[in-house]
Structure 1
Amino acid sequence: MFFHQDASFKHISIHHVGNKANDEFYILSESPLDLSGDEVLPDLLMQYFMKPFGKLTEVYRFYHPNEELELNEVYYFSKQYFSGEIDFHTYSQQVTKHLYEVSDHPKIKSGEVYVVALKDVQMEGEEHNAVGIFKSENKEAYLKVYPQQGGFQLNYEQEAININKLDKGVVIINTEEEEGYKVLVIDQTNQSEAVYWKDNFLQLRTRNDAYQQTGNLLKVYKKFVDEKLDEVFELETADKIELLNRSMNYFKSKETFDNAEFEEEVIGNPQAISLFKDFKENFEEEYDMPFQANFDIAAPAVKKMASSYKSVIKLDKNFHIYVHGKREYLEKGYDEEKGLNYYKLYYENES
């Protein structure tokens, strides 16, 4: 988990990036911003920059398609800054110019770039220095009301920034340098051209640790049950729910994942096991995310995925049947006289 409550700014520099495809330019400030005499603004900026990262669980790493980390520009400049080879303001200028170079889609919005040096951020129980790069693209109009001569006066700010809406941001934690650092990223823009932030500017891929192994295995298995099994087996909704419940119960009751054990206890059917192996291998190849045969189960990842493992059968708009186990106590049939399908439930006690 990431905590910023005890963190503080060491430096902050602000620049502007235009859209290269639209023949706009970038503007670099000559020096960092001095906030030493302001008691309010640093707290507001900390809220604006850091608050959106508080609930993030996915951790990324820098990479390069050629497997040469030094070719990743943001990684390279960050490494130079953390090692003291370049000063902070030079670092902020270099990453801003790189952002400009990748802003080559005509729909990418221009905006201010804020680069900050942070100290005492807490990542997964340890304190580190970090850098943050943030971009504001969307401006809003704000009304300002203030008292004047026994009444009130009204004014407005046309091109203002909402500090509760960070458009894009990345926090680079100064740890595990040789593996590509620990990186957290925010991108609130939904348009297809917005992928430039994570894919082109930062070049990130998910860290393949216990959390990712747990979450990805659960995602792949759910997709396998929902989509692939129907191509070979005729499964009722209750059968799918039973398979999903068994997998969720496995991850909730075990401390470590064992692939052979999972296949035997959860899937069971040899043909289905073979299909799942192929399905999983396709995921590994497509996303370059290999699964380990054994890994520690991360409880937070299980908790996150549990909400998507729905165990409900929806019948028209009249009934919902929640299935948490005992698939054999649920029967499905068809009433020819009424011309309707039905479910028959068996139980011992009513509460």
Structure 2
Amino acid sequence: MFFHQDAVFENLSIHHVGNKTNDEFYVLSDNPVDLAEDEILPELLMHYFMKPFTKANEVYRFYHPNEELQLNELYHFAHKYFQEKILFHEFSQQVTKHLYEVSEHPKIKSGEVYVVSLKNIQMEGEERNAIGIFKSENKETYLKVQPQQGGFQLNYEREAININKLDKGVVIINDESEEGYKVLVIDQTNQSEAVYWKDEFLKIKSRNDNYQQTGNLMKVYKNFVNEKLDEVFELETADKIDLLNRSMNYFKTKETFDKAEFEEEVIANPKAASLFDDYKQSLADEFDMPFQTNFDIANPAVKKMQSSYKSVIKLDKNFHIYVHGKREYLEQGYDEDKGMNYYKLFFENEG
């Protein structure tokens, strides 16, 4: 878990980065920002920068395709800073230059880059120092109402930043440096061109811990049921929902995942289990995402996935059937007279 409530800023530098492809340039400030004389601004910045990370359960690490960490530019600069081989403001300038170099997609927006150093960050029960790098791309217009004699004055401010909407951010925790540090990431844009933040600027991959194992396996199983099983088995929507419900119940009630147990209790079909093994392996090879046969189930990952496990059958625009269990109490058929499909539900009590 990540906590920032006791964290404080040690340094803050602000620069501007444009889009290299569009012939926009970067602008580097000469000095860090002095926050010593302002009591309110650090609190606002802490809210803006750090609050989005309170729900960031997924932990990443820096990597490089050649398996040489020092070739990862951001890891290289962060490592030098944490080892006190480079001053903070110089570090922030190097980071901004690197971000500019990877901002090559024509739709990448220009914006301000904020680089901060923090102390007293708590990560997984340990207190650590950290670096934060944030980018603001989207500006808004705000109305300001001010009282004056006999009434009020209405004014506005263009190109202002909403402190409740961080566009992009990364927190690099000074821990496990030899493995690529612990890295938390936020990217709110969700556009195809935005992958540059994770893939080009940071070059990160998921840390393969219990949280990652739980979440990844649940995602892969959901996709397998919804997309792959139809190629071999003829499944009704209710059958798919039943398979997903059984898997969700498994992850919610078990403390550990056991591959053989999961295949027996949830999939319950040797041929389907073999298909699932092949499907997992193909993804593991493609995305460098190995799956373990046994691991402790991480409840936060289960809760995060629960909302994406659909248990509803939508019938035209008239009815929704929510299926939470007891697949045998739901039958599907076709009425020749009406020329329509139907569902038959069996129950004991009406709530």
Using the TM superposition, give the Cα deviation of residue 85 of structure 1 relative to its aligned residue in structure 2, in angstroms. Answer: 1.3
SS of 2:305's equivalent?
Answer: helix
Using the TM superposition, give the Cα deviation of residue 294 of structure 1 relative to its aligned residue in structure 2, in angstroms. Answer: 0.7
- Specify the alignment match of 1:280 in structure 2: 280
After the TM superposition, which residues 1-351 of structure 1 pair with which residues of structure 2 at under 5 Å, given as runs?
1-351=1-351
SS of 2:324's equivalent?
Answer: coil
Distance 1:158 1:316, change over 3 A: closer
1: CA distance between counterparts of 2:302 and 2:49?
28
Amino acid at match of 1:338: K
Using the TM superposition, give the Cα deviation of residue 239 of structure 1 relative to its aligned residue in structure 2, in angstroms. Answer: 1.2
Render the CA deviation track for 1:234-285: whole Å, top value 9, x for unaligned: 1111111111111111111211111111112211212111111111111111
2: CA distance between counterparts of 1:156 and 1:320?
47
Using the TM superposition, give the Cα deviation of residue 15 of structure 1 relative to its aligned residue in structure 2, in angstroms. Answer: 1.2
2: CA distance between counterparts of 1:349 and 1:286?
49
1: CA distance between counterparts of 2:105 and 2:340?
55
SS of 1:341's equivalent?
Answer: strand
1: CA distance between counterparts of 2:292 and 2:253?
19
2: CA distance between counterparts of 1:319 and 1:159?
46
Gaps of 5+ in 2: none
Render the CA deviation track for 1:28-85: whole Å, top value 9, x for unaligned: 2222111101111111111111111122221111111111111111111111111111
Render the CA deviation track for 1:201-249: whole Å, top value 9, x for unaligned: 1111111111111111111111111111111111111111111111111
2: CA distance between counterparts of 1:14 and 1:249?
48
Distance 1:320 1:157, change over 3 A: closer
Instruction: Please give the TM-score of this superposition, normalised by the length of structure 1.
Output: 0.95
Render the CA deviation track for 1:75-133: whole Å, top value 9, x for unaligned: 11111111111121111111111111112223222221110001111222222111100
Greater shift, 57-66 or 97-106, is seen at: 97-106
2: CA distance between counterparts of 1:335 and 1:143?
61
SS of 1:333's equivalent?
Answer: strand
2: CA distance between counterparts of 1:155 and 1:143?
6
Aligned length: 351
Using the TM superposition, give the Cα deviation of residue 159 of structure 1 relative to its aligned residue in structure 2, in angstroms. Answer: 2.5
Greater shift, 308-317 or 151-160, is seen at: 151-160
Using the TM superposition, give the Cα deviation of residue 295 of structure 1 relative to its aligned residue in structure 2, in angstroms. Answer: 0.7
2: CA distance between counterparts of 1:336 and 1:288?
51
1: CA distance between counterparts of 2:311 and 2:157?
50
Instruction: Please give the TM-score of this superposition, normalised by the length of structure 2.
Output: 0.95
SS of 2:55's equivalent?
Answer: coil
- Indicate the RMSD between aligned Cα atoms, in angstroms: 1.6
Greater shift, 189-198 or 139-148, is seen at: 139-148
SS of 2:21's equivalent?
Answer: helix
1: CA distance between counterparts of 2:249 and 2:138?
44
SS of 2:189's equivalent?
Answer: coil
Distance 1:156 1:67, change over 3 A: same
Identity %: 79
Distance 1:173 1:335, change over 3 A: same
SS of 2:56's equivalent?
Answer: coil
SS of 1:331's equivalent?
Answer: strand
